[in-house]
Amino acid sequence: MLTTVPASVAMLKVLEAWGVKHVYGYPGGSFNSTMSALEVEQDNIQYIQVRHEQVGALAAAAEAKLTGKIAVTFGSAGPGATNLLTGLYDAREDHAPVLALVGQVPHTNMNYNFFQEFDEGPMFADVACYCRTVMTGESLPYVVDKAIREAYRHQGVAVVIIPNDFGYVQIPDVPYKSSSPSDNKPTPLPEATPAEIDQVLAMISAAKRPVFHVGRGIRQGGEQLIALSKKLQIPIIMTGLTKGLIDEDYPGNLGFVNRVGSKSANEIMDIADLVIAIGADFPFANNVYTRHDFKFIQVDADAAQFGRHHYLDLGVWSDATYFVEQLLAKATPAAPSQFFQAAVADHQNWRDYQASLVDNPSEPLALEPLYHALNGIIDPDAIIALDVGDNTISLLRYLSLKPTNKWVVSALFASMGVGIPEAIAAKLNYPDRQVISISGDGAFSMVMQDLITEKKYHLPILNIVTSNTTLGFIRDEQADIPGMNDYSGIDLEDQDFVKIAEGMGIAGATVTKPADLPAALAQAQATIAAGQPFLLEAKVTKKRAFPVEALKVKIVDGRVEETVSPTYNVNRALQAPATLSDFFAEYDGQSLRPLQSFLDDAGVVLD
């Protein structure tokens, strides 16, 4: 005799068959049929109660980014559904497979203006690659299974809207899942042809100042890229998400371009005559690629990305690492390059400058000593949950990450408040690894209620809050807006985050100067070793990080003309620099040199 099971339980069994271990959400009356099923299946799938649906969606997005596997969040009808959107857009923009289960009033009450009822489909139509409202109890597990396949297929968000009463319907207790061992096969990737490799080598040979601009598509191919850089004498510039994938101690790795990056990467990019973008999604192209003309080669495993950020001189549809390996095998070693030598020297000058900042004894605390201290405690396989803001600049410039580390951020949607949700997801999925969240005070205060989620589930996470009572990233942008005479709307009321944490039963410490760091970090490590979360509040300076974006580089009559942008500090919050040297000195960079001096030393002639 065929047995039956509630449709919501059958649906959860589908999730379990796909390997889902956690679902993040907050209950509501329109989601009770699924909550009932979660009680039934509690030994097989863990419900993580967050204190805001946005946190649940952001945590699911982070889980998908960290693991590459489908992650699940939910919200009830009405505000529970609307609160999911920020996290779902974060997942969409960063190509993370996420399933959102959304409550709806019983189907018998739909279209009657019932309490919390609204047509949810249109709201999710833009964010979702697949969005369906379940029409029968029998179809619920099938629709969820289909949604997971679509989320994987598009590396995006799938939404299933569930009228609450359908979850209670008894349906045949049979396997509804379609998952199979074939789902674990790696996706076949395109490969560059010999003819394409020849074309690339010919364009490199014709160029005088080529650079590699590399994204996270390089995956585990960092060592091969370094070998290629040495062989062809081409410097490497990275996009932000490549952090940790390519050894930053390699002298030819110039770091990152644009506002978060290095002086040297920005300068060298601005005189390059050939840019070879490899596996890179660079959303700031209109700030960087438009500054001067160059020839452009784009290598990407997704041909739909061609021309997304710059017109093509050559597109190569290929996996990034395979392309690098083929280029490395076929290329003949280049003669020592004066341009490469100048780029290396320029970047070494920048690295020496960075090293000089880690001993800054200032109070409030400078960010450089804080990140230097973190480098001393980070495990080789630590996971960093980064919120957005000034900490993005500091992490990319100062934190030492390796391929064995993981880190996660809201990269393209740049949603404030992701640090805590990311850390929760990281610790749940990698319980044996060190997890550190880093947030500014503005971002942290958006979601700090979910510190209690860390405590509830016994998640030993080091939460770092850099507090300076301002939205620093926006403050520095406003400084350069013509027509503004002061800052607007960026000042934050101060608060004691340690006391807030202590009110939740979480230990913490406040640091205001470098001398405070060793004891505070030792206390944090002891607390975490005891299985409890910890909050470290760092009272940090409001001083702007070195604004590489203010440097303007162009070639005039065979020489580099390097100046400070006329919009730099146009609101006169600081004294305007009279010379480039004055600009460097404003940021304790008296040792920094202009690009042309390195070109002169290396004997580079520009034309």
Average pLDDT over residues 548-572: 93
The tokens for 267 are: 């300068």
Return the pLDDT at 242: 96
Q: From the options 3.40.1280.10, 3.20.20.70, 3.90.1580.10, 3.40.50.970, give the CATH code of 4-183.
A: 3.40.50.970
Q: Which amino acid is at 578?
A: A
Q: What is the spatial distance between Cα 196 and Cα 374, in angstroms, rounded to a whole number? A: 44
Q: What is the spatial distance between Cα 475 and Cα 208, in angstroms, rounded to a whole number? A: 39
Q: What is the spatial distance between Cα 372 and Cα 395, in angstroms, rounded to a whole number? A: 10
Q: Does residue 210 have a cis bond before it (omega within 30 degrees)? A: no
| Interval 46-70: pLDDT, tens | 999 999 999 999 999 999 999 999 9
Return the pLDDT at 118: 84
| Interval 10-60: pLDDT, tens | 999 999 999 999 999 999 999 999 999 999 999 999 999 999 999 999 999
Give the domain ranges of the chain. 4-183, 194-350, 364-539
Q: Is the pLDDT of residue 139 over 70?
A: yes
In terms of Cα–Cα distance, which of 413, 406, 371 is closest to 390?
A: 371
Q: Does residue 364 have a cis bond before it (omega within 30 degrees)? A: yes
What is the pLDDT of the chain when averaged over all its residues?
A: 95
Active site residues: 53, 115-116, 259, 388, 473-474, 477
Under a CB-based contact definition with an 8 Å cutoff, are residues 337 and 233 in contact?
yes
Q: Which amino acid is at 273?
A: D
Please tell me if the domain spanning 4-183 has the same topology as the one spanning 364-539. Answer: yes
Cα 350 to chain center, whole Å? 24
Q: Is the pLDDT of residue 387 over 90?
A: yes
Q: What is the spatial distance between Cα 268 and Cα 236, in angstroms, rounded to a whole number? A: 10
Q: Is the pLDDT of residue 576 over 80?
A: no
Cα 606 to chain center, whole Å? 37
| Interval 400-435: pLDDT, tens | 999 999 999 999 999 999 999 999 999 999 999 999
Q: What is the spatial distance between Cα 261 and Cα 511, in angstroms, rounded to a whole number? A: 27
Sequential DSSP letters for 130-167: EEEE--STTTHHHHHHHHHHHHHHHTSEEEEEEEGGGG
| Interval 292-326: pLDDT, tens | 999 999 999 999 899 888 899 999 999 999 999 99
**Does CATH number 3.30.565.10 belong to domain 194-350?**
no
Share of the chain above pLDDT 90, in %: 90
Q: Which residues, including other chains, have CB under 8 Å from residue 99's CB and lie 6 or more apart?
A: 15, 60, 70, 71, 72, 73, 144, 147, 148, 151, 157, 158, 159, 160
In terms of Cα–Cα distance, which of 337, 305, 370 is closest to 515?
A: 370
pTM of the model: 0.96
At the topology level, CATH places domain 364-539 in Rossmann fold (3.40.50)
- At residue 573 the predicted structure's pLDDT band, cuts being 50, 70 and 90, is low
Q: Which amino acid is at 351?
A: R
